[in-house]
Structure 1
């Protein structure tokens, strides 16, 4: 057969094309997904190993670990969407230091306790009746700082040296069915064992919490869009705003406490603005709150907080506006030596309050209320 130069060239080209493999797109896992795994840590080396390996784990299970003295169980470098599971009893060795004993930070983080799990720092070793006001230096427990779009659920925390859970710099945090049981401190020197302290955070929802302690069940010091509902508070200082003032952030806006019970406590409902400071408290609602066995103040709203309740002169630098109390059930709830309702405001600094179905009795009327807004009374 006769081939021209042109036809030979065409045949060569076709042969080359047919001999060349066809490239197909490859489905390669992303590096982050490929290297992340389910990791379990346990024993005395578990805390250190978890800290070193946290970036590589999609799920971290902490099974009966013991945290060395003077160190933090530090999970503040978690990759997005990591799940942290506590199993068994997590314990901490003793040291006199400020803590925290536990730190968790990240985006899309899920923190949960397995059935029967306990986080127990054995706070009785530090308790001396002085809390954070003196005595031995006591570590704070859980710094839930910088959590975004995250959840904490089904944790059982017991016997913290001082404050239990600090929520700060969080946006989009849901806390469900967390128990903080410091009831052993009632007769053993527990002090300043706050349940939840909240500051500089937004869109925080706490549901179904049970707090047994010797200080505020919840204290919102600053932040916006915060809800506490379905809670049980016993033994402490009740549901609190503040104290507000003298901090880097002194604004509280849109906070709701609802459908909760406060019993065997010093206070039921408390809003504290510091004397001589500036800031704002607005849009706070207490709804469906049941009070039982309150020893000192059923409802306390003060703009003269100065290191203690009602210690200073009332000032107007932190106005309390748009405060709603509704369906507050406290018939016979206050000890006969306590006060049912106390309101001390600066001149013109409390306004637009709405109270309905507020029943708090059993104690005395407070004779030194000041600048009480219209439609509200200190008398019962």
Structure 2
């Protein structure tokens, strides 16, 4: 009996070892794609300049990050990492780091001018999980969540705090486009742009996250091939030392819809410019002209959004086309900044939020 047990344990260990493959360079990754090992362990890879760490064709497999992943320097507009497929499990293992060494690209211009800067991670996933990744110093934008469905992003740490003094810009945490049933939770972002920017999507939850140093949490609709954001829940989050707390911004002269956006239990702390921003005249170069109502903002529910704005800032700004918003419910307490007496388009169903 003892011999049989020992043999069984040994066999099980062999099967476990054989079920994973270690990848130390790009060539080994290409070989691993051709194999059938259900687990690929990425270990201390240095990706050559101008090349992408490409995880495609890996449906049903697990990708584990071990050690440090780094990238050669090149000015280009590609992606440092691409992950596409179905039923993929992405896991960050203890002690790992995906290090973009973004200071090599940072020039205070971001994606608008200066050096060409690559995206950090492009994901196009279905029925998948991304968990536990530690990411540092992205050249510009971090996560592109594009045409994804049924995907969880959890326990992710995006640390771009060095960019505050070294010229980081447009270092968005999570950018969501044309995606459905997305959950982003238990994560941290320290950056120099939006913590979350939802350009379009349906049934998206952003919960139990901490945003520090950037431009706040944004639903930003307009200017894309799909301009629709519906059923977006922002819940139990903290926004610390950002220039904006939360905002919904729609493109000037754009067409589309924003419908069903609850901000529920969001704590704002030490906001520099404006606590809550709702505008219908957004342009990339900054808001201007009178707001247009081609992207109406419906069922905007602000519940228990609270915290302080610095004295030179503004508590609340609303500038939307009169008659375009519908079904707003607001319950908030933002203090410390100046009231804005020039708000436009506030629906008659709620008390003027700008008077506080």
* Aligned-pair Cα RMSD in Å: 1.1
Residues 298, 327 of structure 2: 8 Å contact kept: yes
> Which residue number corresponds to residue 114 of structure 1?
93
> Which residue number corresponds to residue 41 of structure 1?
23
> Which residue number corresponds to residue 140 of structure 1?
119
Q: Does residue 46 of structure 2 align to residue 70 of structure 1?
A: no
316, 337, 342: which is aligned to 2:312? 337
Shift of 1:47: 2.2
TM-score by length of 1: 0.87
162, 168, 175: which is aligned to 1:184? 162
Q: Which has the larger radius of gyration?
A: 1
Shift of 1:48: 3.4
Q: Does residue 164 of structure 2 align to residue 157 of structure 1?
A: no
1:110-259 → structure 2 map (5 Å cutoff): 110-145=89-124, 147-242=125-220, 244-259=221-236
271, 280, 297: which is aligned to 1:303? 280
> Which residue number corresponds to residue 361 of structure 1?
335
Residues 353, 376 of structure 1: 8 Å contact kept: no
- Displacement over 4 Å in runs of 4+: none
Note closer, same or farther for the CA distance 1:376–1:101 as it changes in structure 2 (3 Å cut).
farther
353, 357, 371: which is aligned to 2:345? 371
1:251-330 → structure 2 map (5 Å cutoff): 251-330=228-307
Task: Give the Cα separation in 1 of the matches to 2:207 and 2:110.
Answer: 27
Q: How many residues align?
A: 336
Task: Give the Cα separation in 2 of the matches to 1:268 and 1:153.
Answer: 26
Task: Give the Cα separation in 2 of the matches to 1:106 and 1:94.
Answer: 27
- Gaps of at least 5 residues in structure 2 are 1-17
Task: Give the Cα separation in 2 of the matches to 1:207 and 1:267.
Answer: 20
Residues 305, 312 of structure 1: 8 Å contact kept: no
Task: Give the Cα separation in 2 of the matches to 1:76 and 1:151.
Answer: 15
Shift of 1:124: 0.4
Shift of 1:38: 2.0
After TM superposition, the structure 1 stretch with the greater mean CA deviation from structure 2, 134-143 or 56-65, is 56-65
Note closer, same or farther for the CA distance 1:90–1:311 as it changes in structure 2 (3 Å cut).
same
> Which residue number corresponds to residue 31 of structure 1?
none
After TM superposition, the structure 1 stretch with the greater mean CA deviation from structure 2, 128-137 or 302-311, is 302-311
Note closer, same or farther for the CA distance 1:355–1:61 as it changes in structure 2 (3 Å cut).
same
Shift of 1:69: 0.4
Q: Over residues 60-109 of structure 1, what are the superposed CA-to-partner deviations in whole Å (9 max), with x where a residue is unaligned?
A: 1000010000000001221x210000000000011110120000011110
Task: Give the Cα separation in 1 of the matches to 2:251 and 2:55.
Answer: 35
Task: Give the Cα separation in 2 of the matches to 1:376 and 1:50.
Answer: 59
Residues 306, 312 of structure 1: 8 Å contact kept: no
